[in-house]
């Protein structure tokens, strides 16, 4: 029955399986991230920022798009070690635009 509901449910176009998380505590471990985000579904991949510009961020890829939506709905604004998480759906076109802007700055 649950799969029947999923098949009939329409999601907004920005919803996808990849979540971008900001405002993470710098000292959070990968295991802690798996504990927090794994409660909502199977995680296919997780990439945690480790440079000075990307620290406090991560990308999480879920197996199921509905589980990703559930995670964003529940964890956006969730308090972890005194910091409120910002969970967003990854948007390929915006990331490409940002990269293009950075490339233009380098070429000038």
Q: Going from the N-terminus, what domains does the chain have, and what CATH number goes with each? A: 13-107 (3.30.70.330)
CA distance 67 to 22: 19
Q: Give how far Cα 68 sits from Cα of 6, 35, 65, 73, Å.
A: 13, 15, 5, 9
For 39, how many CA atoms within 13 A lie in the half-sphere containing its CB?
A: 10
What is the predicted pLDDT for the residue at 4? 47
For the stretch 46-95, pLDDT in tens is 999 999 999 999 999 999 999 999 999 999 999 999 999 999 999 877 66
For the stretch 25-57, pLDDT in tens is 999 999 999 999 999 999 999 999 999 999 999
Token pair in block for residue 53? 């510009």
Q: Give how far Cα 24 sits from Cα of 3, 9, 31, 70, Å.
A: 33, 31, 14, 19
């Amino acid at each position: 029955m649950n799969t029947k509901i999923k098949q009939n449910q329409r999601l907004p176009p920005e919803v996808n399986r990849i979540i971008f998380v900001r405002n993470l505590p710098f000292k959070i471990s990968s295991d802690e991230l798996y504990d927090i985000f794994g409660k909502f579904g199977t995680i296919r991949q997780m990439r945690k920022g480790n440079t000075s510009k990307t620290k406090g961020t991560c990308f999480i890829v879920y197996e199921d798009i509905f589980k990703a939506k559930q995670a964003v709905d529940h964890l956006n604004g969730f308090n972890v070690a005194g910091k409120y998480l910002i969970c967003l759906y990854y948007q390929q076109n915006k990331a490409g635009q940002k990269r293009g802007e950075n490339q233009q700055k380098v070429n000038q």
